[in-house]
């Protein structure tokens, strides 16, 4: 059984320039996910898919491989993650390398740990899912969300206006860290999330989506709290 870690890190970040290699508590943020992947012992190759020479150099410095660069088709703002992964797997196949399982990791996910990757892989294989990824609970019941129409507030689900929070089914969202997947079903469907996907629950402190400067500061605070 052969596994590959694919860290997707193109150079054209818009909201936070050079986001994928920006120092996070003193180390390029991509280095954290490279370290976790290597330390997990799950992968025969930990590679970075990028179109950027500087990102490639930093990735190699921290132990990842960059066996090929992205094509122009998968390096623009409109390329999907699935298209990037499909291209990587095809390029490996041209080199005679075929993998049973792969893990798509985002470079701005410094909270990923070797233990979390092992837990995801065990869940994937034991339960024969197509994909497994981390999910976090919503901090407030989404069934009791409200909508704003101008300045007027209205219930999103009026039938739950008087329902007690403890009586509502818990809901979760994608933690935005990684997708561990079975390569064969992915190549058939070209989809990471299918009707046969599984989730592993992590706490609100175990991940943070980074899209703004404020997000970056909160993520660093959380990381220090977790690893202080």
**Distance (Å, rounded) from C-alpha 226 to C-alpha 85?**
31
Which contacts of 38-42 are long-range, i.e. CB under 8 A and separated by 24 or more positions? 38/63, 38/64, 39/114, 40/114, 40/117, 40/118, 41/114, 42/3, 42/5, 42/103, 42/117, 42/118, 42/121
Domain boundaries, the chain: 3-136+171-227
Per-residue model confidence (pLDDT) at position 128: 98
Strands, E assignment, the chain: 3-8, 23-24, 27-28, 45-49, 101-105, 131-137, 146-149, 152-155, 172-174, 178-182, 197-201
Which residue did the predictor score with more confidence, 121 or 14?
A: 121
Length of the chain: 228
pTM equals: 0.95
Q: pLDDT of 156-189, one tens digit each?
A: 999 999 999 999 999 999 999 999 999 999 999 9
Per-residue model confidence (pLDDT) at position 209: 94
Q: pLDDT of 28-79, one tens digit each?
A: 999 999 999 999 999 999 999 999 999 999 999 999 999 999 998 998 888 9
Let me know: does 120 contact 180? Beta carbons within 8 Å: yes
Q: pLDDT of 189-222, one tens digit each?
A: 999 999 999 999 999 999 999 999 999 999 999 9
Query: How many Cα neighbours within 13 Å face the side chain of 12?
Result: 9
Indicate the fold that domain 3-136+171-227 takes in CATH: Spore Coat Polysaccharide Biosynthesis Protein SpsA; Chain A (3.90.550)
**Confidence band (pLDDT; 50, 70, 90) for 14?**
confident
**Confidence band (pLDDT; 50, 70, 90) for 12?**
confident
């Amino acid at each position: 059984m052969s596994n590959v870690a694919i860290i997707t890190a193109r150079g054209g970040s818009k909201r936070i320039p050079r986001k994928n290699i920006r120092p996070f508590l003193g180390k390029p943020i991509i280095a954290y996910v490279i370290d976790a992947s290597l330390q997990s012992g799950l992968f025969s190759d930990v590679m970075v898919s990028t179109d950027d020479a500087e990102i490639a150099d930093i990735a190699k410095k921290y132990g990842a491989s960059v066996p090929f660069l992205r094509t122009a088709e998968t390096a623009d703002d409109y390329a999907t993650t699935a298209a990037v992964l499909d291209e990587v797997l095809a390029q490996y196949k041209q080199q005679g390398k075929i993998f049973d399982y792969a893990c798509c990791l985002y470079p701005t996910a410094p909270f990923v740990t070797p233990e979390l990757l092992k837990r995801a892989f065990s869940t994937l294989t034991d339960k024969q899912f197509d994909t497994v990824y981390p999910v976090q609970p919503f901090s407030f019941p989404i069934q009791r969300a409200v909508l704003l129409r101008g300045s007027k507030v209205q219930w999103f689900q009026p039938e739950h206006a008087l329902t007690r929070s403890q009586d509502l089914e818990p809901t979760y969202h994608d933690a935005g860290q990684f997708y561990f997947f079975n390569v064969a079903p992915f190549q058939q469907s070209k989809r990471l999330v299918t009707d046969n996907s599984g989730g592993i629950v992590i706490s609100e402190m175990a991940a943070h989506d980074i899209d703004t400067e404020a997000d970056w500061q909160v993520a660093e605070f959380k990381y220090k709290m977790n690893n202080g």
